[in-house]
């Protein structure tokens, strides 16, 4: 037994145990943050698909590319951005006066969604 450094091994073991504990807690936190991001992403995707927030599709389509910093991320998301731009343009068509109007397909879909009876010209009819 040495007079100097006799407890060094015990102290090193204690340090190692604390480092392991810190690493486990970091992993738990990382998993929690990843799960939160996944859930938020799923919520945002559903909101975009259902078009529940006015102008959200347009905002995401116009700003997502600038948010992404890696070229590989831009390539990964390019199809999503293009789809959002197409949908936004289709749903937000503007005539030459600057007034918004809805295209015929959207109107027909909206009429069909009401569940009310319509004739072959998609005009409402009485039961």
Task: Label residue 94 by pLDDT band (50, 70, 90).
Answer: very low
Instruction: Check residue 47 and report its DSSP letter.
Output: H
pLDDT of residue 90: 75
pLDDT of residue 4: 63
Backbone CA torsion sign across 104, 107, 112, 115? negative
pLDDT mean over 116-127: 63
pLDDT of residue 24: 98
Instruction: Check residue 79 and report its DSSP letter.
Output: H
- Report how far residue 15's alpha carbon sits from residue 24's, in angstroms, rounded to the nearest whole number: 14
pTM of the model: 0.56
Task: Label residue 77 by pLDDT band (50, 70, 90).
Answer: very high
Q: What is the average pLDDT value for the chain, to the nearest integer?
A: 82
pLDDT of residue 108: 62
- Report how far residue 53's alpha carbon sits from residue 73's, in angstroms, rounded to the nearest whole number: 25
Question: Which tens digit of pLDDT belongs to each residue from 4-43?
Answer: 666 788 999 999 999 999 999 999 999 999 999 999 999 9
Phi, psi of 96 (to 5 degrees): -65, -20
pLDDT mean over 72-88: 92
117: Cβ–Cβ under 8 A, 6 or more apart, which residues?
124, 125, 126, 127
């Amino acid at each position: 037994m040495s007079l100097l450094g006799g407890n060094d091994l015990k102290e090193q073991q204690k340090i190692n145990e604390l480092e392991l504990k810190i690493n486990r807690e970091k992993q738990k936190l990382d998993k929690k943050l990843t799960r939160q991001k996944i859930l938020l992403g799923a919520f945002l995707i559903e909101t975009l698909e259902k078009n529940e927030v006015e102008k959200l599709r347009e905002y995401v389509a116009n700003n997502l590319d600038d948010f992404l910093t890696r070229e590989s991320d831009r390539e990964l998301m390019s199809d999503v951005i293009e789809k959002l731009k197409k949908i936004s343009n289709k749903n937000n068509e503007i005539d030459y006066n600057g007034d918004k109007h809805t295209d015929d397909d959207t109107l027909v879909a909206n009429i069909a969604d009401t569940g009310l009876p319509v004739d072959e010209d998609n005009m409402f009819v009485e039961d």
